Each structure stands twice: as structure tokens, then as C-alpha cells.
Structure 1
Amino acid sequence: MADVPVPILMYHAVAAAPNEATRELSVTPQAFAEQMAVLAESGCTPVTTADLAASWRDGRALPERPVLITFDDGYEGVHRHALPALAQHGFPATLFVTTGWLRGPYDTGGALDTMLDWDQVRELARSGVEIGGHSHRHPQLDQLSDAALRFELIHCKEIIADRLGTVPASFAYPYGYSSRRVRQAVRETGYAQALAVGNDLARRRQGPYALRRVTVRRRTGIEEFERVVRGRAVARTFARDRALTKAYAVVRRARQAARRAAGAR
């Protein structure tokens, strides 16, 4: 089976006037609508995360020019602004929710901006949006103890299942950070696949628990967007992001080793 690269687009907030905490990783409603029009005009076929992983796992052929539209965290603009644009083209998508940030009985007060409530999440699900997990409090999972890690994964999964009546099959790592231990815990919790960041095209050989995505930001122009969805010059476009990610990975590993050493004393 050919290892065809697939662009997995990672969005966060869709808002005309986001706050400073989410501004860089937001897109305007107009930009999002234009980007969805580009996908339609380019002959792309959006699929959900579960659909992509199932196709690669079972050896089934993907549709022509597959692409994934994913959202992290659960900002209210996904319902207000993104859903109408998705519905206009009949596009499915995947929303990874941080359950402790959504408005409602599990709200921990840690959200960065206005979030969805559970009625809106249910409407998104009814409209063809796959709902996946994104932890409960949005921590750096690879920095947690085993007990805290499992709480984040299990509590998130149980809340989604309770509120929607459907057990989530897909997961996205907060900040894109994971490790072998985190990926193993995600698998053992029952998630069938998980997404990182990596700012690269997704490929089957990455494995179901380390699929890469490309970041769509407020500064992403339409020409850059078109290049990314066509799989062109992705490495050059995200060269700086990759360098920063690698450097910070070294820092995080050093911090984790220091904490473990301190705990062993």
C-alpha cells in the first residue's frame, strides 16, 4: 500500500477579535471560509481522523486528495464561525476538546478564551464533526507522573462519553508533546489513534499514535495555505517551527530528568 502523504490541518480559535492568548493560533472567520473554498475548488476530500486511521489500519484506499480539518481545545468560534463554512461544503472535521475548559459542570476555569458549551459540542457532533479527546486540563503530558497522566486521559474520555453517549476514538496531544510513555498510555486508555504537530504531512509509517499536522495561523496567507494542502514546500514553510520544536524538546527532556532525579533522592 502506497504511503501517500496527507495534510492534516490544525486550527485552534476561529474569531474576528480573539484575545492575546489565542491570537497567533487563531484565524478570522473570513480566512477560514476562504480556506474551505480553496479545499473545495482544489478537489480535496476532507475525512475525519478516525476515517484516515481506519483506512491506513485496514489497508483501504483513501479518497482522492484526502485532507483533515482539525480543531484543538474547543473554542466557541468553531460552532459560531467554522461550522457554517464546513456545512456549506459538506465537509467533516475533527474537534479535540479539553474537557476542563468547556463551559459546563466540568469547567476548571483554565480556558484561554470563550469556549464551547456541551450543547454546542453535541450540535457539532450531529453535524458530522468527530469529537476527540485533548486531555482534561491541557497540561504537557510528557511532564506528568504516571498517575496524573492517566487521570488526564481517562477523565477526558469518560466525560466525553458521558456527555455525548459516544466513546471518543481519537486524541490530540496538548501542545503536540508526547513521548513513548505517553503514547503507550493513550493506547492503553482505548484511543485508537492520536495526533501530534510536527508541522509535516501525515504518513502511514508515522504510526497511529504519532500522526503529524500542519499549523494554520492568523498569519497564514492563502498562497501558503494552497501550497500546504498541495503538499508543496512544507519543510521550507515550517523550517523555523521545526527547529524551535527540536530545541524545546531537549529542554523538556532535561527538565523531566531533573525532576525524576530529585524525586529519587
Structure 2
Amino acid sequence: MKKLLMSLGLLALVSCTSTSPTGRTQVLLVNKDQMTQMGIKSFDAMKQETKISTDKKLNNYVQCVSNQIIKTIPKDWQSGWEIVVFDSDMVNAFALPGKKIGVYTGILNVAQSADQLAAIIGHEVGHVIANHSNERASQNKIAGVATQAAQIATQGTEYEAYATKGLGLAAQYGFLLPFSRAHESEADVIGLKYLIKAGFKPEESQQLWRNMAKVGGKAPSEFTSTHPSADTRIDNLGAHIQKFKEQGIKALQPRPSCSR
């Protein structure tokens, strides 16, 4: 019976595999429509809870950069995006399933040019197109099932507490966090390609992370962090800038005049 259940579980995982824009194999267990509704619901809640900027010039600037990036993404993704600027000191931006983009005004102190903001928008949109939210939710589901299986298998034995604690740590540091770093690095690469095609300066993506490093304070160990270090990202971006040049990837449209 255990072997049958394991076989069925493996079959279910194989049937839910997909491929990311960079060719990486993914397991996606959550329905696409469900992810879209979750993204829309979360975004609507944020609009209720966080002040929205009414600065017309600032909104036009963010819209200008974002729309230029959106022109370069796959055609079936290009329509229907909602872009909101939140009036907050948070140094952050995000994109959600359901085609939602949020930019906090605080990050505009770090992204000092339209090119650097384009790097952020391309990165965040890359997360959505690569189904990273779905993949993360799926990883959490798998980790939860593994922990439950360990509890059942060792229930009533001297190994119960050790097995549960050990699997919890393994899931966190050996499975969930490494995939999160993979998501960040992949979104950097996807976003960089959009950046180049949109006519922005790719080297500014590296300068963005130099700026981030200056305001980030003492960074956590890369092993226990969900994000690669700034130096790792800068090096990875540099390698892919050269790679994309060699592949002949270039601007498909002139750089827009997005004025802040």
C-alpha cells in the first residue's frame, strides 16, 4: 500500500511539471485561475490598507517605465495590467498573479534612473510570468506532506521528535530557501532580457544592486537568506549581459522618455 501511494504521488508530481522561461523544470500544483484570484484579492487588500500616491507626475513616470517593459513580454501577457504606486517609505516593489504591479515610493530613492526602475519592474513581472508564486505554494504543499509523512511513519517511536524537527529544517534550508534564491536569480535574468528589449541600459541593473547594497545594512548569510547577495546578483547580471550580447538580443524599440 505504501509503495502504491508513493507511486501515485510521484505520478501526480510528474503530471504537474512545467518549464520556466529559462528552461528550468517546475512543479506547479495550484490551479492557474486560483493563483490569479489570490493575486487579485491580495492586491485589492493592499490598496485598502496602504496609502496610494496621488502624485500625478510620479504615477506617470512609473506607468511609463512599466508599460515599456510590458510591451516586451510574451503577447498573451501584454494586456490588462494594473499598476499602482503606494505612498510608503518601504524600499520594495512587487508583481502578483492577476497582472498586478505595485511600486512603493521608497524604492524610487534607490532606483535612481528609469533604467534602474525598469530593472525592478522587469524582475517583478518576470516572477509572475515564470509562475514563481505557484511554484512556491507548490513547494510548501510538498514540504507539508513530507513532514506529515514523517510524523506518521515515526509516530509512537523514539524517533518521532527528531524526524519531524529534522525534516522541518531540511525543508527550510535544503529545499524551500534554495528554490527562493533560484527564483530571484531567474527573475533577474528574465527581467534583464525584457530590459534590453525595451531599450533600457542593461548595465544599470548592476548599478541598481550597488545602490541596494548601500542601503541594505548588514546582509544575512547567503545560505540562510531567501535572496542572493548583491555581489552575486551583480556578477550574474554581468555574465548574462555579455551572454545576451553574444546571442544578438537587442532593443526592439527606442528607449522611452520617462521623466520623473
Question: Above 0.5 in TM-score?
Answer: no
Indicate the structure with greater helix content.
2
Indicate the structure with greater strand content.
1
Rg bigger for which structure?
A: 2
TM-score norm. by structure 1 comes to 0.23
